[in-house]
Amino acid sequence: MWNGIRLWIGKRYQKIINSIAFYPALIAFLFLILSFLLISFDFSDYGKQLKSNLHWLSLKDASTARSIISSIVSGIISLTVFSFSMVMIILNQTASQMSNRILDNLIGNRFQQIVLGIYIGTIVFALFLLSTIRDIDSGIYIPAISTYVLIVLTVVDIFLFIYFLHFITQSVKYNVIIERIYKETLSKMKEYCYLQEEPAGYSTLDKGFILHAKSTGIYQGFNKHNLLRLCNENDCTIQLLKSPGTFVYNKTPLLKVSKALPRDVTDQMVNTLYLHDDESVENNFFYGFRQLMEVAVKALSPGINDPGTAVQSLRALSKLFIYRIHHFPSNTITDKNGNERIIIKELTIEEMFAIGILPVWDYGKDDRMIQIEMLHMLTHMRSITDIPLANKLFEEVSVLCKKDSY
């Protein structure tokens, strides 16, 4: 029961922190706390004394303070609406010309969320401050210090808006998006593919009990800590039957267990596997390969006809493949005593090549730029490894390039 609750909390936690509203809500809450502390300082004895000694900190007229704060609120609201209306327009244009699957990288950008949080936080700060102003004869009872802090925050917001315009116009450039996908994918590959030599042959369970999926979704990996703990507690070995990124139907064979286990234990094991409706590079690095492939294919479509972008995507793909050729993921997980507990199914280089490269060639085989770039990539890959599918494609590309050269 407690394991199920922990898994439920873990999934909801990941969903919340990855939401676009998480950082804005957190920053707005911090601004609310800041406004409460500053207003409390404003009305404290030390704050009153400070405003009495520094006359330029005092606001004698409550209506003046209200006018300043009201103007700031309306201005920041307009700034927020304009900023993110522009973002949506640019993202819509980018999705139509590249791939809508890259929108998660753009919408979920932390900098955009932080900017939105600062805008909302300034508005919250101003509204809370506005509610504390009273028509009192003595100016020291008007939160002047907090009002001046709000003015400083507004100036910061304006400069942040200027930088935000520069950032968003640069971030939607094709080469910037391709480079971002490449770096995110490479970063995750370095976490998973950390072996310098290919591990021993892929082991399998000759006999075992099959566990089936309890829902439909894309298999995105598993909770290593919980699944390993369950294997140790029940002294068993598990074989994962699907590779990350596989679409799994309900009741599809998902796991194989080395021995029979109680129903509640097998349910816990199945629940440690992540089945989602969408994919992310965070959980499956090969999704980055597919994103780059889709960008290249979309660029080669008759409606877009941008082979230069396709070449950039192909170069990024080639760099990722070359790294994967020299680095290998572990296909087993052992406990602290060295006992084999989890057998993992990973995509082979041949399978990755078929999914990531062949579609680009299918769409771009008649384009001379793609032919030249593909020949250059395959020539280098053939010099460092032997991939039968790549060798076959190399012969096809070579023949086509020679034919077109006449």
* pLDDT tens readout for residues 227-276: 888 888 888 888 888 888 888 888 888 888 888 888 888 888 888 888 88
> On the CB side of 35, how many CA atoms lie within 13 Å of its CA?
22
| pTM as predicted | 0.74
Cβ-contact 272, 220 below 8 angstroms: no
Distance between CA 276 and CA 376 in Å, rounded? 37
363 within 8 A of 372, measured Cβ to Cβ: no
**Residue 111 pLDDT:** 82
* Cα angle 313-315-316, degrees, rounded to a multiple of 5: 65
pLDDT band at 158 (very low <50, low <70, confident <90, very high): very high
d(CA 142, CA 131) in angstroms, rounded, equals 11
Per-residue confidence at 100, pLDDT binned at 50, 70, 90?
low
Q: Which amino acid is at 35?
A: S
pLDDT over 50 (residue 314): yes
| pLDDT above 70 for 159 | yes
Q: Would the CA dihedral through 330, 332, 333, 337 be positive or negative?
A: negative
Q: Which distant-in-sequence residues (6+ apart) come within 8 Å of 223 by Cβ?
A: 7, 10, 272, 273, 274
Tell me what pLDDT residue 122 has. 93
For tokens 């609406």, the residue is: 81
% residues pLDDT > 70 (the chain) = 86
HSE-CB at 237 with a 13 A cutoff on CA atoms is 17
pLDDT score of 406: 46
Alpha-carbon distance of 161 to 168, in angstroms, equals: 10
pLDDT number for residue 259: 85
Query: Strand 217-222 vs strand 253-257: parallel, antiparallel, or unpaired?
Result: unpaired
Residues 153 and 161: their CA atoms lie apart, in Å, by: 12
